[in-house]
Each structure stands twice: as C-alpha cells, then as structure tokens.
C-alpha cells in the first residue's frame, strides 16, 4: 500500500515568508509525528498527534511553528515569518498504534531552504 507522503519535496522561501508543509500518513495510522532534521544530525522531535489531538508540542522551537491535524489524517506544519535557522529537512512519520513497541513509518521529507 501507499506509504507516508509529503509535499512539497523541496521548498525555497525568502526570509519572512510563511510556508505550509503537508503530510499524508498511512491510512488508518493513529499516531503522527513531525521532526526537524538539520544537515548531518538525527531527527529532532517537533510535535505529536494521536488522531486529531495534538498531545505533545514540546519540540516546536518557537511560536512561529504551528501544526494541525483537524480530521485525524492529513497534517500540516506551518512556519510563519521564516528565518534562515529554519532551513532543514522536515520529516513526517506515522505509526499504527499508540503503544511504544510499534515502529514509525517515515515520509521522504520536505527540504526547506530559507534565503
């Protein structure tokens, strides 16, 4: 079946612009995660949804970052007034259950470059 998809795959934004990144998780997956991966680093947790509820947003770096999953499927990560330090790959992952033993399935990521 289809895996996790993300769009766009690449985004170039001028500093100060707003961007919206989309994630389509695997159908039926309860949990959805957003990560930020800087060059040469591991993914850093941003936020977590269980169905439509955002249960943890402790990793969002500032109030310029906002995520939603209104119907418990597709999710959007929005970054307002982008800064150069926001340049990174943004990864979305989904998992079929809440239980910690379940793996997460990653999308290909969106590479954001802020100029």
- List residues binding another protein (CB under 8 A): 33, 35, 40-45, 48, 56, 59, 91, 93, 98-101, 103-109
Residue 68: Cβ within 10 Å count: 14
Q: Which is nearer to another protein, 45 or 66 (CB)?
A: 45
Taking the complex as a whole, the smallest distance from the CB of residue 14 to another protein amounts, in Å, to 27
Taking the complex as a whole, the smallest distance from the CB of residue 90 to another protein amounts, in Å, to 12
């Amino acid at each position: 079946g289809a895996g996790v998809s993300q769009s766009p795959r690449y985004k170039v934004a001028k500093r100060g612009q707003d961007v919206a990144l989309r994630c389509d998780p695997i159908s039926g997956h309860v949990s959805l995660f957003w990560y930020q991966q800087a060059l040469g680093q591991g993914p850093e947790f941003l936020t977590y949804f269980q169905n439509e509820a955002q249960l943890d947003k402790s990793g969002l770096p500032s109030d310029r970052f906002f995520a939603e999953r209104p119907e418990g499927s597709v999710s959007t990560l929005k970054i307002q007034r982008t800064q150069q330090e926001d340049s990174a790959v943004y990864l979305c992952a989904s998992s079929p259950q809440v239980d910690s033993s379940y793996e997460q399935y990653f999308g290909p990521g969106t590479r954001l470059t802020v100029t």
